[in-house]
Amino acid sequence: MSFSARHKGFLSRVARGAVLGCEAIAITAILGLFLVVAVNIFMRALFDATGSEINLMIPGAVELASYALLIAVFAALPAGLENGLIRVDVLTGLMPDALQSVLNRFWFVILFLFALALAWLFADQVMVTREQGEVTQDWGIPMWIIYLVITLECIAFAIVSLAEVIDPVISAAELG
């Protein structure tokens, strides 16, 4: 089954939009992580300097930092695919371009299936945690929201993987 140029263009645009959205999420999560850690460091210094009289540390800072890091990692996956994964081509560099292309597409099919499996599992967690009313320990953030964000990031990961299978960005000249 082959895709028309129109379908390839549409999928490429959707994949690019998914990457841009995930990059924005990753940047926001990393900035949030940095802000929480930096504020807590300064507030801890103030706490120590005042002999524990002034406590302005962020309650649940470890929780916030942990979830921000988790969200940032999953958001970075689609961007990593679009911008090129680290390649060690000691063995594949010796292969003909056609075989390299086939192996590259096979790799992205595996990533696509992996991303779909992750999306499925996290989507299930969205439903379970929503039904059970689970919230984070310190801030009381509904867990289903965190799982929903990660599910959407996994869907973006799958879309970018599929776009690479259908219309690889890496040309044969770059492979050889």
Q: What angle do CA 28, 30, 34 make, to 5 degrees?
A: 115
Predicted pLDDT of residue 20:
93
In this predicted structure, what is the pLDDT of residue 79? 85
CB 112 within 8 Å of CB 81? no
| pLDDT number for residue 8 | 65
Q: Catalogue the E-assigned strands of 57-159.
A: none
Judged by DSSP in three states, 118 sits in helix
Distance CA 139, CA 116 (A): 30
Say if residues 142 and 157 touch (Cβ distance below 8 Å).
no
Give the model's pLDDT for residue 86: 63
Ranges in the chain, pLDDT < 70: 1-8, 83-89, 92, 169-176
Distance CA 88, CA 90 (A): 6
Dist CA 18 CA 28 (whole Å): 15
- Alpha carbons 101 and 84: distance in angstroms, whole number: 14
Amino acid in position 86: I
84-87 contacts at long range (C-beta below 8 A, 24 or more positions apart)? 84/169, 84/170
